[in-house]
Structure 1
Amino acid sequence: MQDLKSYWNGYYASQSRERRPVPSQFAVFVQGELASPHLIVDVGCGNGRDTIFFSSYGNAALGVDGSSAAVEYGQALADRLGMPARFASIDVNDKNTLVRTIEEAKNGDLPLLIYARFFIHAIDDAAQAAFLDTCAQVCKDGDRLAFEFRTVRDKSLEKVTESHYRRFVEPSAFLAEMGLRGFSAEYFVEGFGFAKYKSDDAYVARFMCTKRS
C-alpha cells in the first residue's frame, strides 16, 4: 500500500487550491437523508470537499485519508473557510488507530454515519475487510453507513483518470458482507448518472445501511 500512498500524496500535492470546491452528488444526496446533525466520518476524504460540505450543515465532520497531502489540503481549506471540520491521516489498515480516532470524535448523543465515496473500489480486498470490521466495531444500533463505489459493470468503460488504482466491486457480494456484520440496507441503487466527471460517467452502486443489533 506504500506505493498507493506515494501516488495519492503526489496527486493531491499537485492540485490547485480552490476557494470552495463543489461537493459530490452523493454528499448532497446523503445530507438530504439526514433529519438531524450527525457525526460524519468521511473515510477516503481526498481534498475534503464533502467533509467541509457536511460541516457546513451543522454536522460534526471528520475527514480521514491515508494521504497526508490530502489531509493537509483539506484542513487548510476548512481553516480558511472558518469551518470546524477536522482531518486525520490514517491508513485504513491501521484498525486500532482508526477505531480510536472515531471513538474520540464521538460527540455526545450524535448518531454516527460513516461515509465513503469512491473509497471502497480504491482499496484491495484485505483492506476492505478490515474497514468493514472497523465499521461494525464502532457503530452501535441505529448508526449508519453511506457508500458509493464503482461496480464490475464499470470495468470496461472510459476513465478520465486512468492511472488511479481501481478494484471493481460486485454489489450483491458487498451487500452480503455488510449483512454478515449486522448491517441492513435501507437504500440501494446502481447505474449511470450518479457520478459524472467530464467524459467519465461511472457505473456506480450507492448504499445506505443501518446497524441492527
Structure 2
Amino acid sequence: MSRSDEPSGVVPAERTDYWNAFYADGGVARRPVPSQFAAFVAGELDGPTRILEFGSGSGRDSLFLAAHGHDVTGVDGSKAAVEACSELAEELGLDVEFVSASIDQEGLAAQLRVEPGNTLVYARFFVHAITDDEQAAFLRLVAELTSPGDRLAVEYRTLRDSSGAKVTGRHYRRFVDPTSFNAQAVLHGFDVTYAVEGYGFAKYREDDAYVARALLTRR
C-alpha cells in the first residue's frame, strides 16, 4: 500500500462534484503563478517539448510551460477547471489544449498526441490526489503514451507529510511511499534519473508539505 492511514478529505465518489464546485468558485486565477516544480522542470528541458500534464487543475503549470515554448495539453477530471483554463489560455494568447477526462477513462491514450522521444508526462500534486487503483492506471497510461527517451516528472505528498498542517484540508489525498512509487514506475519501463524529498519545495501559507519529486526516463 502507498499510504500510512486512511486518505484525508472528501471520499473518491465525491471528488468530481467537489472539484467542479472548487474551480467554478474562483479556483482558477486570472494570472496564475507557476509552482516551484514547474520552474524546476522547465530548467531541465533542452528545447521545445511535447508535455502532457495530468491533474492540470488551475492550469498554472500548463500555462507557464506553454508560455516558455512547449506544446502542452492539460488533462483534468473537472470539467469546470478545463472550461476555466481554456478560457484563460485564450485570454492570454496561449495555445494550450485542456481535456476533461478521468485517469482510467477507456481510450484516453488514443486521444492524446505524443512525440516519441520528445514527450514529457508531468504530474504535480496528482499522484497523492488519486486512489491506489488510479495510480496503477496512471502508470499503465504513462507507459502506453511514452517511448524510449521520453520522461515522467512527478511531485507528490509522502508518508512523512501525513501529520503536517493542511491549508486545503478537504482535498482528497493519500500519503505516498516514494520507494514504492519508484519501484512501480521501474516495473513500467522507467529509470529514476533524479529523486529528492523534503520540506520547502511546495510551501503554501502554513502548509509546508513534505514532498517527493522525481524525474524518470523511459527505457
TM-score by length of 2: 0.92
Deviations 1:78-125 (A, max 9, x none): 00000001100011111422x0122xx235x67110000000000000
Are the aligned partners of 1:186 and 1:208 in contact in 2 as well (CA < 8 Å)? Answer: yes
Aligned residue type for 2:182: L
Quote the residue 2:111 is aligned against: 101
Quote the residue 2:129 is aligned against: 122
Aligned residue type for 1:73: A
Which of 109, 115, 118 pairs up with 1:111?
118
Q: For the structure 1 residues 16 and 130, does the alpha-carbon distance in structure 2 shift closer, same or farther, using more than 3 Å as the test?
A: closer
Which of 149, 172, 180 pairs up with 1:142?
149
Quote the residue 1:209 is aligned against: 216
Structure 2: stretches of 5+ with no match in the other structure: 1-11
Q: For the structure 1 residues 34 and 17, does the alpha-carbon distance in structure 2 shift closer, same or farther, using more than 3 Å as the test?
A: closer
Are the aligned partners of 1:190 and 1:204 in contact in 2 as well (CA < 8 Å)? Answer: yes
Shift of 1:64: 0.3
How many residues align structurally? 208
Are the aligned partners of 1:52 and 1:83 in contact in 2 as well (CA < 8 Å)? Answer: yes
Q: For the structure 1 residues 17 and 156, does the alpha-carbon distance in structure 2 shift closer, same or farther, using more than 3 Å as the test?
A: closer
Shift of 1:74: 0.8
SS at match of 1:127: helix
SS at match of 2:107: helix
SS at match of 1:148: strand
Aligned residue type for 1:40: I
Shift of 1:128: 0.4
1:28-47 to 2 correspondences below 5 Å:
28-47=39-58
1:19-34 to 2 correspondences below 5 Å:
19-34=30-45
Aligned residues: CA RMSD: 1.2
Structure 1 runs (4+) greater than 2 angstroms displaced: 16-19
Question: Equivalents in 2 of 1:18, 1:191: separation in Å?
Answer: 27
Question: Equivalents in 2 of 1:50, 1:61: separation in Å?
Answer: 10
Quote the residue 2:3 is aligned against: none
Identity across aligned pairs (percent)?
50
SS at match of 1:135: helix
Q: Which moved more, 1:199-208 or 1:18-27?
A: 18-27
TM-score by length of 1: 0.94
Q: For the structure 1 residues 72 and 132, does the alpha-carbon distance in structure 2 shift closer, same or farther, using more than 3 Å as the test?
A: same
Structure ranking higher on relative contact order (CA contacts 8 Å, 6+ apart): 2
Question: Equivalents in 2 of 1:16, 1:47: separation in Å?
Answer: 6
Are the aligned partners of 1:194 and 1:204 in contact in 2 as well (CA < 8 Å)? Answer: yes
Are the aligned partners of 2:20 and 2:80 in contact in 1 as well (CA < 8 Å)? Answer: yes
Question: Equivalents in 1 of 2:181, 2:24: separation in Å?
Answer: 32
SS at match of 1:131: helix
Question: Equivalents in 2 of 1:18, 1:113: separation in Å?
Answer: 25
Are the aligned partners of 1:186 and 1:209 in contact in 2 as well (CA < 8 Å)? Answer: yes
